[in-house]
């Protein structure tokens, strides 16, 4: 029996309460979160400037050794350039740029000569498009003052944080949601299993929980993939049902994006069912802008949910 998915008469009030809760959090905490990230990013940009001689030179070896500076370098150009635009301008392999930015490394299987040449092209584009109005010392070919370097670092950090504003807020919200789940479960005497202790879905002891567990699943072709799950809870001894509860923390600051992403949960549910049977229990933990269209879609896929503003509904899932 469903807890919330089969009660559409409650959806309207729940949606309003969820939006209010998200807005209260955003107004109270998002500015501080963004500001703290900007301060840290400014330090990282300053380090990138140091590694590149204040953007007066950029060797392929520097990019190979410090691939994490690439997003900052893209924001140091006029105009700032997106990843795929850099790929096109430098005429390099898309995998190179995306691996450097997503994994903070260069592709391990790329041949050394090819890697060096493609990094040289990337460096050439960055230096060619470097924002001369921002890096005022480049045109006269002199060293910057401390004030000029700090000002440039701050502006590049603003550009980078602006481009990443949604992920910054979303990551902060996810951390907050998981912290609330942890407090709720520990109040119920559940024991937390830290990441990296060899925790597996099928061997979790009753009365335990963990975060960000990779659940293995086989595809039709035989390949095995890992399905990341935000929270996995094994109900306490004697609880019914005795199967793990998989919880996906979801937050949203507007109604548009959730309807673009709603198929993600359905696809994950289908993969879990295909591997672990129809008894698999997978629910959403919602805070923010989730409208009746989103809820109806998830309900039709057999996915139930708990609202953050009414966390005690978790009790009805046997916890």
At 192-226, the pLDDT tens digits run: 998 776 778 878 889 999 998 888 888 777 778 88
Asked if the structure places residue 172 within a domain, the reply is: yes
Does residue 2 sit within a domain?
Answer: no
Same domain, 205 and 97: no
13 plus 81 within the same structural domain? no
The CATH number of residue 180's host domain is: 3.40.1350.10
Same domain, 173 and 151: no
Are residues 22 and 56 part of one domain?
A: no
**Domain annotation covers residue 68:** yes
> Does 112 share its domain with 189?
no
> Which residue, 164, 192, 211, sits at the end of a domain?
164
d(CA 292, CA 295): 5
Q: Verify that 106 and 140 share a domain, yes or no.
A: yes
Residue 231, pLDDT above cutoff 90 = yes
Phi-psi domain of 171 (left: phi exceeds 0; alpha: psi -120 through 50; beta: other) = alpha
Average pLDDT, the chain: 88
Least trusted range by pLDDT, from 53-62, 163-172, 225-234: 163-172
Checking if the pLDDT of 71 tops 80, the result is: yes
Residue 213, strand partner residues? 229
Q: Say yes or no: 301 and 248 in one domain.
A: yes
145 in a structural domain: yes
Q: Which domain-ending residue is among 117, 141, 164?
A: 164
Whether 50 is covered by a domain: the verdict is yes
Identify the domain boundary among 140, 164, 188: 164
Residues 241 and 107 in one domain: no
pLDDT at 265: 86
* Shared domain check, 204 and 86: no
Determine whether 239 is exposed, middle or buried from the number of CB atoms within 10 Å of its CB (0-12, 13-18, 19+). Answer: middle
Domain count, the chain: 2
Q: Are 126 and 266 found together in one domain?
A: no
* Residue 251: alpha-carbon gap to chain centroid: 12
Segments forming the whole domain that contains residue 212: 8-29+166-317
Which of 23, 22, 26 lies closest to 165, judged by CA? 26
**pLDDT at residue number 11:** 94
């Amino acid at each position: 029996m469903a807890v919330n998915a089969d009660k559409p008469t409650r959806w309207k009030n729940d949606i309003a309460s969820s939006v209010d809760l998200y807005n209260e959090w955003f107004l109270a905490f998002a500015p501080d979160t963004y500001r703290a990230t900007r301060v840290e990013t400014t330090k990282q940009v300053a380090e990138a400037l140091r590694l590149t001689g204040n953007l007066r030179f950029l060797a392929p070896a520097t990019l190979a050794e410090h691939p994490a500076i690439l997003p900052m370098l893209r924001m140091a150009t006029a105009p700032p350039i997106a990843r795929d635009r850099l790929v096109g301008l430098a005429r390099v392999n898309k995998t190179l740029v995306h691996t450097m930015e997503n994994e903070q490394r260069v592709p391990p299987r790329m041949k050394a000569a090819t890697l060096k040449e493609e990094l040289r092209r990337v460096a050439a584009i960055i230096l060619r498009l470097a924002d001369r109005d921002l890096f005022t010392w480049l045109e006269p070919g002199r060293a910057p003052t401390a004030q000029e370097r700090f000002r440039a670092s701050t502006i590049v950090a603003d550009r980078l944080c602006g481009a990443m504003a949604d992920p910054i807020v979303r990551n902060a919200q996810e951390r907050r949601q998981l912290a609330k789940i942890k407090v709720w479960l520990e109040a119920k005497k559940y024991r937390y299993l830290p990441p990296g202790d060899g925790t597996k879905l099928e061997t979790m002891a009753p009365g335990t929980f963990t975060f960000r567990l990779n659940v293995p699943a086989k595809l039709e072709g035989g390949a095995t993939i890992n399905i990341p799950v935000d929270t996995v809870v094994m109900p306490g001894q004697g609880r019914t049902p005795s199967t793990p509860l998989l919880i996906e923390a979801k937050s949203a600051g507007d109604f548009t994006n959730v309807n673009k992403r709603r198929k993600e949960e359905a696809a994950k549910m289908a993969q879990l069912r295909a591997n672990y049977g129809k008894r698999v229990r997978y629910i959403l933990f919602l805070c923010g802008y989730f409208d009746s269209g989103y809820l109806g879609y998830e309900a039709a896929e057999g996915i139930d949910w708990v609202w953050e503003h009414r966390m005690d509904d978790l009790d009805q899932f046997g916890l």
